[in-house]
Structure 1
């Protein structure tokens, strides 16, 4: 990652920050800027902190210890040293390190929260966080350690380099935090009262990584509806379940949304003509594509709404209220709603994966599709797509397993003070793992459905289905003689995750 990104800047602290903005900073090195209103608002909030400190008010994390140590009052001479110790003591993460884009997403999410000017942080530290992103200093953060009631451990690891400690990656090399700052032309930050808590007491890991997962989920869902449409084409499916009057009679918004998307993808298809369908009624995995997809789309939209609200909200405790000259302990760091929304999205995705895998196997069965077994013209001397069924089945099983809910914290921590947590970071990781597996399954369905279309008598494809077919054939040729297909599925899945297939759609199809 270079120090001078060549992308439009993302402004924090003005209008609402979108999930796509976090992705732009995390994956495309978009520079960050602070809105002109941020500085004065930060100064006003900091003045509240200074006045409370001058009065020696009992304020959590300012004049008291943290967690179970809330009953400990800090002497004036202890407050400065307490800041650095608080960060060091919470850098307890274990496991694999997060990918650079994940760490950058976390930093960007925390920057968005700090720019709400409710943490009371020293204004210079907000500039310092922005500088880490703009100068390509990416802290090394181990993934496991947060329970989802403030992501203390990952944020502590992320901000060790800010004070010249820990490790960071810059220009592809892992170096000490101090060296990373030096090579970027930055100096270690000096922490004032409450600054450690302001940096750490947020859900930036959960929110930042959720942004990445949900943007990927949206791209895969858009590809999934086109893969399903192409399967309907290859199967010569009966499209009567897509009649809009049936959707109106049902009255469910998810069903209606799925119908709109699928009808748009199949617009212009010969299957809408009389007598074209292979049979009067198809297997349920073909018939239910619209409502199941619609449920997944609605679950994705609900999770996006919660994640966006979290990104633009205040998760601090205590919260600084300048207009009241007050600092109030809060529970704004609770992420239960986000956790449950993400669980619902993963569960909906597992249903979509189940019918996708079923369609893949049905397309290969002569008794179901009327096509050659395993979609090969060469008969039993060739395997065709036979063993692809195993990969599809393995993916569906893993997706189904990942959809099982994780549940809430069961072992209280912090001497029993922290006796509930929604486990949101683990749920985010679980959803993202599900999305990545589903992208592979969608890639398989696209390739199998394209082969089925090739084996059919020529007929007009729907607009979206035709674009999906061309997308496949630009990268994966028809299967004649047996060849290793795994690498082709994988390459196609990565293109799906990158959003390449949805970008090929006309706007009216993509937005349907």
Structure 2
């Protein structure tokens, strides 16, 4: 697997983050990064030596930014890390921690922090060696992720706990086992490491990448449902999409046409109009794809940014406090992603109900070929309803849930980490809904005895039948749907 390169001419993509976070791709550093970091550090130290008050270098933080810091600068940075190690709750998953480490390294490589070059090297080395801080998940309101990121700074200096090769141990022991030495902090280094929205950005990259994959699987399910219901494929004609060129709609319709290419539905006797959840797949899915793209774009902007406070511009010796770490656009993009997925999920559940209801277009009632008292698929409607209720609950916006903190200095927050985390919850529920629709659509295809499926829908049908047998008699379908959902997750790594 080729390495992911930081700090060069090509910005990171959400898939790059996933390659490192989930699949263990190595991280390489472009050759221009080292001199860039050295120039920024020299500019930072020069400004301080000239008497400039620099936030977190020679001043306190938050409400104490007007308080000068005297004495041992390294000791102050350790005190700063201790004072910001406030997160609680379960530890973040390993992939999220690795994504956050990479996101912070990507930001630091832009050269805006003034971080000591050896500390940047220590961060990249820990990531490549598989040494990860134990990062509790509760403690950030999206005004940077300091409380969540503090364990990273602690780990790099050999304090706190770390995970290495699946075992949690003292960070000093983990570094030693990986052949690494604890880093030494210079002025502002602790702040530079953790004053960023790196958890929100890294986790957001993983969520956006997963959403892209699931959007494709949702189209698979919708196309197979059209086959199972004997629906009308004419609604995906390119001329219809050109009449209303909404973002993503043409691409969604093209995806449906590709999946249905060669299907016996073309030219067959089909309904004049299908239910809206089928007839409007292109517009619903187009809106979803637009929301996914917006989330990915928001993440990739942050991965390419020097969102530091204070910011160092080495070329002219400029050092100034900023609010660049604040990510309201990131939070809004993931709120939109949750709502976009929610809309698609409503349509997915509606199609599932059409498939498993009283019998449409010649299908047996509840997809039960036995009939009589046989339940068939009808009881799974409750599962679909429960999944949809969970999605609706998680889609409730959080970006306005703000309580002023730090003596009123931090009187605005984005709730970006929560917006991203609840989007991940929505995806997990949606994946199960997609599995339900796909399983029911495969059963409907078998019940109809379709003479010829499309190129894409035939592949989906074969995949379902490799995991789930046709329903000849009532049996526990929940575990089988869960198996399909797990296979969808495994397909994405």
- TM-score, with structure 1 as normaliser: 0.94
Deviation per CA, 1:231-258: give whole Å up to 9, x if none: 0000001223222222222232332232
Selected match of 1:201 from 195, 203, 227: 195
Deviation per CA, 1:56-88: give whole Å up to 9, x if none: 31111111111111010112x142211001111
For residues 456 and 430 of structure 2, the distance between their equivalents in structure 1, rounded to whole angstroms, comes to 20
| Aligned-pair CA distance for 1:485 | 2.3
Residue of structure 1 equivalent to 2:282: 290
For residues 109 and 443 of structure 2, the distance between their equivalents in structure 1, rounded to whole angstroms, comes to 52
Asked if 2 retains the 8 angstrom alpha-carbon contact of 1:315 and 1:332, the reply is yes
Give the secondary structure class of the aligned counterpart of 1:174: strand
Asked if 2 retains the 8 angstrom alpha-carbon contact of 1:151 and 1:205, the reply is yes
Give the secondary structure class of the aligned counterpart of 2:372: helix
Within-5 A mapping of 1:80-119: 80-119=74-113
Give the secondary structure class of the aligned counterpart of 1:412: coil
| Aligned-pair CA distance for 1:367 | 4.2
Q: Residue 273 in 1 paired to residue 267 in 2?
A: yes
Moved more, 470-479 or 340-349: 470-479
Q: Residue 229 in 1 paired to residue 223 in 2?
A: yes
Residue of structure 2 equivalent to 1:451: 443
Asked if 1 retains the 8 angstrom alpha-carbon contact of 2:298 and 2:333, the reply is yes
For residues 157 and 458 of structure 1, the distance between their equivalents in structure 2, rounded to whole angstroms, comes to 57
For residues 453 and 405 of structure 2, the distance between their equivalents in structure 1, rounded to whole angstroms, comes to 58
Deviation per CA, 1:465-501: give whole Å up to 9, x if none: 112111211211212222222222222212223336x
Within-5 A mapping of 1:58-69: 58-69=53-64
Give the secondary structure class of the aligned counterpart of 1:80: helix
For residues 375 and 128 of structure 1, the distance between their equivalents in structure 2, rounded to whole angstroms, comes to 59
Q: Residue 141 in 1 paired to residue 128 in 2?
A: no
Deviation per CA, 1:244-297: give whole Å up to 9, x if none: 22222223233223212222221222112142x1x2222111111111011100
Within-5 A mapping of 1:30-429: 30-75=25-70, 77-275=71-269, 277=270, 279-429=271-421
Selected match of 1:23 from 9, 18, 21: 18
For residues 397 and 372 of structure 2, the distance between their equivalents in structure 1, rounded to whole angstroms, comes to 43
Selected match of 1:490 from 441, 462, 482: 482
Residue of structure 2 equivalent to 1:510: none
| Aligned-pair CA distance for 1:360 | 0.7
For residues 240 and 18 of structure 1, the distance between their equivalents in structure 2, rounded to whole angstroms, comes to 36
Q: CA RMSD in A?
A: 1.4
Moved more, 223-232 or 279-288: 279-288
Which runs of no fewer than 5 residues in structure 2 stay unpaired? none
For residues 239 and 185 of structure 2, the distance between their equivalents in structure 1, rounded to whole angstroms, comes to 64
For residues 66 and 121 of structure 2, the distance between their equivalents in structure 1, rounded to whole angstroms, comes to 33
- TM-score, with structure 2 as normaliser: 0.97
For residues 249 and 26 of structure 1, the distance between their equivalents in structure 2, rounded to whole angstroms, comes to 42
Give the secondary structure class of the aligned counterpart of 1:11: strand
| Aligned-pair CA distance for 1:428 | 0.3
Asked if 2 retains the 8 angstrom alpha-carbon contact of 1:219 and 1:497, the reply is no
Asked if 2 retains the 8 angstrom alpha-carbon contact of 1:17 and 1:311, the reply is yes
For residues 305 and 410 of structure 2, the distance between their equivalents in structure 1, rounded to whole angstroms, comes to 22
Asked if 2 retains the 8 angstrom alpha-carbon contact of 1:139 and 1:169, the reply is yes
Asked if 1 retains the 8 angstrom alpha-carbon contact of 2:357 and 2:378, the reply is no
For residues 86 and 494 of structure 1, the distance between their equivalents in structure 2, rounded to whole angstroms, comes to 42
For residues 419 and 286 of structure 1, the distance between their equivalents in structure 2, rounded to whole angstroms, comes to 46
Moved more, 29-38 or 376-385: 376-385
For residues 131 and 30 of structure 1, the distance between their equivalents in structure 2, rounded to whole angstroms, comes to 13
| Aligned-pair CA distance for 1:298 | 0.9
Give the secondary structure class of the aligned counterpart of 2:353: helix
Asked if 2 retains the 8 angstrom alpha-carbon contact of 1:151 and 1:201, the reply is yes
Give the secondary structure class of the aligned counterpart of 1:113: helix
Give the secondary structure class of the aligned counterpart of 1:427: helix
Which runs of no fewer than 5 residues in structure 1 stay unpaired? 1-6, 504-512
| Aligned-pair CA distance for 1:412 | 0.3
